[in-house]
Structure 1
């Protein structure tokens, strides 16, 4: 996280802390796909962080598999190394090519990535630990509004949990699939704006927003200071009289 973003988060925490607590309910125990920064655009790239909490009291998580639909035509997935884990990206050759978000043919799209804990490692048993796995994916499809990325969580006692249920109504399923919402492509946008940098997301728009926010706060503080100074002058004149 950049210094500007950290400063902004610190200032806003006092106001929105309660809302954050209310939003961290049952969903926090699910495997989720998170975007830390601006929403990825159709036909662009995305830095996605999969958050995997352990939920079994007597077993730890030793493998996490993320599946990608072949029709998404994602040609490249890179991952950030996680200490104590290995990762393997799988591509599948299709009988006929599919079009990606830039209308180019893809014959061997990425269909999965598997993170496997090294011996003696993994996410500890119980419900107090989680692990995040960060990837970048490109090119994103242009014909869907949402990526559905089913996950398979394997425990060291052999238990397997499939996070692959798609929500169709207001009620969240027991094992919802991780999802990522895609924004409409903007003309002339820089498709690299959402690439990951050290666990976060570099975003020019975010930096500009932060600068404007801090600038506005500075004007408010300056106005208050000017008002206080004027009040002090008036009080001094009255005392002299």
Structure 2
């Protein structure tokens, strides 16, 4: 039953090789819910092998303007919020109409503060209130220290993943842990660390495979005939 020792590595190897494939700029908001104010985390990996990420420009939806847009302080980065005048004023969540809304958020690294090759960074925005349903798309442009600009701005038209997909937050009327999200903007935006969803799934798979391998090994040991007793 020596084969049990290599069953787990062989099964795990394909998972490990597939893990780095999803290296897009993504948006994560576990508590996103219609009408709520939620912290959206933009996860930005540096895919270049020679240049660092030094800039990030995020477009907010103009057809679904957000009354509240606040950035978390990001050490080593400057942040600029640009507003656009609205053709139709919107409610700020407190019964007051506002005629402008933030349309673009730009993060720019100070000297030596870029995201180096092989690393990633997280940038957080407090947004709200969210639309009642649909998808909140956040087209993003990532700038590298060598001048290269990668546009994560594409949207799928046939259900397949685009080559450079724009970060998205999907909103539904129920089924979310945060379906009863905050009805007013919190005084302090919580910035609880969050892990990579893909990595979490991989970890669960690895644990399951290890347990299965151990069970196979133990079962094999039990079925082996006992060694003859020396006389």
TM-score (norm 1): 0.63
**Aligned counterpart in structure 1 of residue 120 of structure 2, from 123, 130, 134:** 130
Task: Give CA deviations for 1:74-122 in whole Å, capped at 9, x if unaligned.
Answer: 0111122111111111211124435788997542111011111001221
Task: Give CA deviations for 1:8-36 in whole Å, capped at 9, x if unaligned.
Answer: xxxxxxxxx99x96984522x1000012x
Deviation at 1:190, TM superposition (A): 5.0
Distance in 1 of aligned mates of 2:159 and 2:128: 31
Deviation at 1:183, TM superposition (A): 2.4
Counterpart in the other structure of 2:107: 115
Please, what is the CA RMSD of the aligned residues?
Answer: 3.2
> Is 1:181 matched with 2:173?
no
Q: Which of the pair is proportionally richer in strand?
A: 2
Distance in 1 of aligned mates of 2:170 and 2:109: 29
1:79–1:134 Cα contact (<8 Å) kept: yes
Stretches of structure 1 lacking an aligned partner (at least 5 in a row): 1-16, 202-241
Counterpart in the other structure of 1:161: 150
2:61–2:103 Cα contact (<8 Å) kept: yes
Counterpart in the other structure of 1:71: 63
**Aligned counterpart in structure 2 of residue 198 of structure 1, from 170, 191, 201:** 191
Task: Give CA deviations for 1:182-208 in whole Å, capped at 9, x if unaligned.
Answer: 12179x94525996423359xxxxxxx
Which 4+ stretches in 1 moved above 6 angstroms?
A: 20-23, 99-104
Distance in 2 of aligned mates of 1:106 and 1:90: 15
Distance in 1 of aligned mates of 2:100 and 2:156: 29
Q: Which of the pair is proportionally richer in helix?
A: 1
Number of aligned residue pairs:
177
Counterpart in the other structure of 1:141: 131
Greater RCO structure (CA 8 Å; 6+ sep): 2
Stretches of structure 2 lacking an aligned partner (at least 5 in a row): 1-11, 195-231
TM-score (norm 2): 0.66
Aligned to 1:176, the other structure's residue is in SS state coil
1:43–1:100 Cα contact (<8 Å) kept: no
